[in-house]
């Protein structure tokens, strides 16, 4: 399923793209290889490995023309989970060697928060 998402960006007409995004957002199994749950249902715990996988699936859809419209609920959720300093922290459990860490080390909490904030900020630029 991930390959379809990656290969069809910029290829589909508007009506077909809308159907594709609706399909992936509502599909109970999510996007195979990336996230195993329905994208229409937000993760229950923000600071979690599940959220990191969820973000990976949303990132795969974010470059579609209609992503801003279809993924606005994700943008609202991300904005609502900013901390008091205006940044995000997904916690230490998201360190997976694929998406995190971006920095050389997470020994300092500030580097982890910076990494999380950079990833989420980049995603928000695409879907808001």
Give residue-wise pLDDT tens across range 38-78: 999 999 999 999 999 999 999 999 999 999 999 999 999 99
In this prediction, residue 73 carries a pLDDT of 98
Residues with Cβ within 8 Å of 82's Cβ and at least 6 positions away in sequence, in order, are 88
Host domain of residue 95? 2-127
Residue 1 pLDDT exceeds 80: no
Domain count, the chain: 1
Q: Check: CB of residue 83 under 8 Å from CB of residue 128.
A: no
pLDDT of residue 97: 81
- Asked if the model's pLDDT at residue 109 lies above 80, the reply is yes
Q: By C-alpha distance, which of 51, 71, 46 is closest to 61?
A: 71
Question: What confidence score (pLDDT) does residue 103 get?
Answer: 80
Percent over 90 (pLDDT), the chain: 80
Q: 31: which strand partners?
A: 35
């Amino acid at each position: 399923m991930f390959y379809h998402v990656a290969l069809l960006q910029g290829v589909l007409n508007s009506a077909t793209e809308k159907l594709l995004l609706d399909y992936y957002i509502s599909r109970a199994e999510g996007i195979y290889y990336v996230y195993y749950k329905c994208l229409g249902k937000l993760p229950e715990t923000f600071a979690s490995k599940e959220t990191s996988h969820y973000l990976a699936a949303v990132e795969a859809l974010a470059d579609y023309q209609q992503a801003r419209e279809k993924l606005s609920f994700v943008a609202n959720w991300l904005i609502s989970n900013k901390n008091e300093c205006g940044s995000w922290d997904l916690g230490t459990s998201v360190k997976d060697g694929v998406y995190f860490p971006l920095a050389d080390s997470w020994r300092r909490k500030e580097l982890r928060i910076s990494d999380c904030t950079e990833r989420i900020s980049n995603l928000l630029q695409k879907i808001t």
